[in-house]
């Protein structure tokens, strides 16, 4: 078993509870941790034997383009389901950071995890 990380992935999406948040997209920063069996790629040196983190990043950016959720939690659920449907990861942990949204905080964030069933 092993882990693959993507940190600080910039994802533009329409998200937010309030009317002013629904007038334009917001940039979120995503940290993604995938539980992956790395043994085959460690032997073969072939990207086909692992989860290609570039393709995972593309998938997540695309989910952002197509989504219009209000809550980070709902957006995160969609991201985790899309990644687990498209890639052979055994689990995913996702932290979603929303910068500069509260007047007295640098960022807000939610973190969630999902195992393949
Ligand atoms: N737990 C959450 N709380 C809030 C969210 C959210 O996505 N999850 N969102 C908002 C607003 O959209 C925020 O961006 C501005 O206050 C409020 N609380």
ipTM: 0.97
Give the distance (Å) from ligand 1 centre to CA of residue 39: 40
pLDDT at position 30, please?
Answer: 99
Which residues in the chain land under pLDDT 50? none
Task: Please work out whether the CB of residue 112 comes within 6 Å of at least one atom of ligand 1.
Answer: no
- Which class is 2-115 in CATH? alpha beta
pLDDT at position 112, please?
Answer: 99
pLDDT at position 29, please?
Answer: 99
| Kind and range of the H or E run holding 64 | helix 53-66
Q: What is the pTM of this model?
A: 0.98
Which value, in Å, is the radius of gyration of the alpha carbons in the chain? 15
pLDDT at position 69, please?
Answer: 98
Task: Please work out whether the CB of residue 64 comes within 6 Å of at least one atom of ligand 1.
Answer: no
- All structural domains of the chain with their residue ranges: 2-115
Secondary structure of residue 96 in the 3-state scheme: strand
């Amino acid at each position: 078993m092993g882990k693959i990380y993507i940190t600080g992935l910039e994802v533009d999406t329409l998200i937010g509870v309030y009317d002013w948040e629904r007038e334009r997209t917001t940039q979120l920063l995503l940290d993604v941790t995938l539980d992956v069996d790395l043994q085959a790629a460690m032997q073969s040196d072939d990207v086909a034997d692992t989860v290609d983190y570039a393709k995972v990043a593309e998938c997540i950016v695309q989910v952002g383009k197509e989504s219009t959720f209000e809550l980070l939690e709902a957006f995160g659920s969609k991201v985790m389901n899309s990644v687990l449907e498209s890639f052979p990861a055994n689990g995913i942990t996702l932290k979603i950071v929303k910068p500069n949204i509260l007047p007295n905080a640098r960022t807000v964030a939610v973190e969630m995890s999902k195992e393949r069933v």
